[in-house]
């Protein structure tokens, strides 16, 4: 019937407002901005961690209770991460205004029809896939996997474990998805690179931020980045990737906290 609209599908596609192709200037510009945002946010995080160093004065000779050094290291990391993540959110929100389409297009946190419910399925697929990958790495190179998780596992046994957990389960998913699957992928997907290359470039840059991990860990993170870009395409926004990211990090932390310490010993 003329004028009749069809019912919305379960998962709406991404908004097509800025679907016209982007210039090479915009393409190169977003890559430079992402690097600048990461550098600036790292600086902010380092300053915040420096304040903790000054306040605690851990190097000052004095009697300290057992575990004080480990708790200080965990506290310092948690403060660094919180400052880094907040700075990333603020700077990304500002940077998004520089591109056609506006901030809302890139940082879409609304839930298109069906996206919220689908997020749980996408999260389950991610967790199962990551578990299979981790099992393969464990059987091939046990020390590499344990080396990737050992430092964080030790920090989760300190008195400030909840700060580390909060940064990993709340702060990291929001800040990293807004920057990488929001701004960076949001611009590159309509650039001369195209969607597939945009997802790959975004995943590689995101994985490089986690360069402290082994090659297996970095490769695994890149695979997750590709998956999260696909989830954004399927759901039309950032809510589902954020939920997937949070669910994955929460599952990793849960395993670290539940597995006996003796099983995480390298060798």
* DSSP sequence for 28-85: HHHHHHHHHHHHHHHHHHHHHHHHHHHHH-TTS-----TTHHHHHHHHHHHHHHHHHH
Residue 16 lies in a domain: no
Residue 155 lies in a domain: yes
Domain that holds residue 34: 24-264
Cα dihedral 182, 184, 187, 189, rounded to 10, equals: -90
Residue 68 lies in a domain: yes
Residue 5 lies in a domain: no
Residue 17 lies in a domain: no
SS percent in the chain: helix, strand, coil, step 5: 75, 0, 25
Residue 113 lies in a domain: yes
Cα distance between residue 139 and residue 23, in whole Å:
46
Cα distance between residue 13 and residue 263, in whole Å:
44
pTM to 2 decimal places = 0.86
pLDDT in tens, 201-242: 999 999 999 999 999 999 999 999 999 999 999 988 899 999
pLDDT in tens, 107-166: 666 666 677 788 999 999 999 999 999 999 999 998 998 888 887 888 898 999 999 999
* Backbone region of residue 22 per phi and psi (left: phi > 0; alpha: psi in -120 to 50; beta: other values): beta
Residue 3 lies in a domain: no
Residue 237 lies in a domain: yes
Q: How many domains does the chain have?
A: 1
- Other Cβ atoms less than 10 A from the Cβ of 162: the count is 11
């Amino acid at each position: 019937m003329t004028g009749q609209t069809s019912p919305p599908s379960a998962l709406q596609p991404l908004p097509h407002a800025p679907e016209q192709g982007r210039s090479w200037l915009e393409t190169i510009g977003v890559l430079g901005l992402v690097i600048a945002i990461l550098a600036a946010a790292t600086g902010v995080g380092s300053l915040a961690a420096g304040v903790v160093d000054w306040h605690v004065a851990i190097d000052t000779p004095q009697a300290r209770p057992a575990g004080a050094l480990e708790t200080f290291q965990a506290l310092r990391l948690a403060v660094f991460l919180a400052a880094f993540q907040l700075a990333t959110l603020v700077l990304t929100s500002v940077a998004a205004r520089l591109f056609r389409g506006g901030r809302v297009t890139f940082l879409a946190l609304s839930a298109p029809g069906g996206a919220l419910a689908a997020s749980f399925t996408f999260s389950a697929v991610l967790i199962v896939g990551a578990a299979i990958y981790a099992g393969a790495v464990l059987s091939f190179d046990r020390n590499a996997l344990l080396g990737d998780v050992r430092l964080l596992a030790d920090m989760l046994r300190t008195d400030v474990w909840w700060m580390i957990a909060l940064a990993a389960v709340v702060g990291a998913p929001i800040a990293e998805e807004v920057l990488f699957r929001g701004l960076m992928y949001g611009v590159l997907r309509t650039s001369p690179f195209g969607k597939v290359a945009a997802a790959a470039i975004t995943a590689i840059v995101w994985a490089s931020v986690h360069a402290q991990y082994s090659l297996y860990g970095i490769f695994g993170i890149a695979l997750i980045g590709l998956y999260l870009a696909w989830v954004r395409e399927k759901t039309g926004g950032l809510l589902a990737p954020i939920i997937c990211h949070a669910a994955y990090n929460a599952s990793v932390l849960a395993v670290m906290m539940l597995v006996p310490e003796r099983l995480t010993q390298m060798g």
